[in-house]
Copies of this chain bind each other. A is one copy, B any other.
Amino acid sequence: MSENGALPHRGRVLTVDTMNPNVKKVDYAVRGPIVQRALQIEKELKEGVKKPFEEVIKANIGDAHAMGQRPITFFRQVMALCSYPQLLDDNKFPEDAKNRARRILQSCGGNSIGAYTTSQGIDCVRHDVAKYIQRRDGGIPSDPDNIYLTTGASDGIVTILKLLTTGEGRTRTGVMISIPQYPLYSASIAELGAVQVNYYLNEEKCWSLDISELQRSLQAAREHCNPRVLCIINPGNPTGQVQSRQCIEDVIRFAAKENLFLMADEVYQDNVYAEGCEFHSFKKVLFEMGPEYSRKIELVSFHSTSKCYMGECGFRGGYMEVINMDQEVKAQLSKLVSVRLCPPVPGQALMDLVVNCPQPGEPSYQTFMKERTAVLSALAEKAKLTEEILNTVPGISCNPVQGAMYSFPRITLPQRAINEAKVALCHMFFMSFA
């Protein structure tokens, strides 16, 4: 401070020039300029501005409830019971919902979902997740100690990428991701200062994955970084393909040969619509390939409450299963997740319901199955409809949507439109220099 008590000239401490440079590099299209523009248009419509349309439909993200999908009654009954346990005395709630709620509450400190849980997640939920995986994968064992509950799948993916990121310059960790991509990957890679290594899905073959393309991409990346991780999204986001069992085997062999850590984003595992397509978990295929693979390949698989028939994005529930992770690294992972204390408990509870849903003979079973089937059928129908309608538009072509919640059409711009745009762009430049 100067002698007369006035502050000296003081610039801002934090400016774009003095901030974390990795954060600046982050590009997040799902919530980027197009979304900002959509929000603006929506606001204008609300304020009465006249447009040639009345409504903005946001198709930039798989947000099922926002698009009118109804929540599964059973899930929400249990959530209400967990939130306000006085309702356990209410005879309007079915017994199986009450049992689930009681079991979750008994696992919580002070029987309250307002208490912190252990950082890895509630014990009984992790056990239920392991049982679910074991059932799903035809009996291949799953260890609750390998299950980490997360704040949505995003949280788990970022955490594992964080563990894997190291090195400087040519030794920096390279992360192989599919293009077209889900922007969480590019954003997290930029934020962590890792290197994004693109491999391209084959649009001509319905967005399938070619091992030769993986090989090309890896080779090229090795010139400038240390590619250590291969990320797979199956069913695909945003391309909607479903990988064949053969393809998954080939990917695992490739990862084995090239010493890559596998990350399998499997949040759309119930979203498979096309005839002849089936979901195969990476874990199952890995174990069916024999001990040579199942004892060696490091794999993390991610799931969440946000997609499939649940669509409960707002709860930010999820889990990851880590396989063949070095014990010391696992200890580091446990320490790392403990810094954020615990995943949101309502999300943990919801994850439990997904993996421990009503069973035949339980009072809620029929309603649950009816609702589940209705949602999945509606999604299948919409997948078909989207593909068909897009393909009727001249200049647009779209692959069959085999799974997930997205279609990724190709738009061919006519030469005349391109020429016009070029002229318009020139005018813009002239204007900006005028």
Contact surface of A with B, Cβ cutoff 8 Å: 1, 6-8, 10-16, 18-21, 23-24, 26, 28, 30-32, 39, 61, 63-71, 76-77, 79-81, 83-84, 87, 90, 92, 108-110, 112-119, 151-152, 154-155, 158, 162-166, 184, 187-188, 191, 228-229, 253, 256-257, 259-261, 292-293, 296, 298, 310-316, 324-326, 328-329, 332, 335-336, 338-347
Are the CB atoms of B115 and A20 closer together than 8 Å?
no
Are the CB atoms of B336 and A63 closer together than 8 Å?
no
Given contacts A65-B109, A108-B314, A163-B23, contact A296 B7 (CB under 8 A): yes
State in angstroms the CA–CA spacing of A112 and B184 once bound together: 24
Which chain B residues lie closer than 8 Å to A69 at the CB level?
110
Which chain B residues lie closer than 8 Å to A13 at the CB level?
164, 228-229, 259-261, 298
Are the CB atoms of B256 and A116 closer together than 8 Å?
no
Instruction: State how many angstroms separate the Cβ of A80 from the closest Cβ of chain B.
Output: 4
Q: Of B112, B119, B329, which one neighbours A14 at CB under 8 angstroms?
A: B329
Are the CB atoms of A71 and B114 closer together than 8 Å?
yes
Given contacts A314-B113, A341-B152, contact A335 B76 (CB under 8 A): no
Report copies per complex. 2
Given contacts A87-B80, A112-B314, A336-B23, contact A326 B14 (CB under 8 A): yes
Q: Of B61, B71, B80, B342, which one neighbours A314 at CB under 8 angstroms?
A: B342
Which chain B residues lie closer than 8 Å to A184 at the CB level?
339
Are the CB atoms of A114 and B313 closer together than 8 Å?
yes
Instruction: State how many angstroms separate the Cβ of A368 from the closest Cβ of chain B.
Output: 15
Given contacts A69-B110, A191-B336, A259-B13, contact A313 B28 (CB under 8 A): no
State in angstroms the CA–CA spacing of A70 and B30 once bound together: 40
Q: 16 A-B residue contacts at CB 8 Å?
A: A10-B296, A23-B162, A23-B336, A31-B339, A32-B335, A77-B84, A113-B314, A114-B310, A114-B312, A114-B313, A116-B313, A154-B339, A154-B341, A162-B191, A314-B345, A315-B345
State in angstroms the CA–CA spacing of A30 and B339 once bound together: 8
State in angstroms the CA–CA spacing of A69 and B163 once bound together: 37
Are the CB atoms of A68 and B110 closer together than 8 Å?
yes
Which chain B residues lie closer than 8 Å to A345 at the CB level?
314-316
Which chain B residues lie closer than 8 Å to A313 at the CB level?
114-116, 341-342
State in angstroms the CA–CA spacing of A321 and B418 once bound together: 45
Residue of B nearest to A24 (CB): B332
State in angstroms the CA–CA spacing of A316 and B342 once bound together: 8
Are the CB atoms of B114 and A314 closer together than 8 Å?
yes
State in angstroms the CA–CA spacing of A313 and B15 once bound together: 33
Are the CB atoms of A16 and B329 closer together than 8 Å?
yes
Which chain B residues lie closer than 8 Å to A261 at the CB level?
13-14
Which chain B residues lie closer than 8 Å to A118 at the CB level?
39
Are the CB atoms of A66 and B115 closer together than 8 Å?
yes
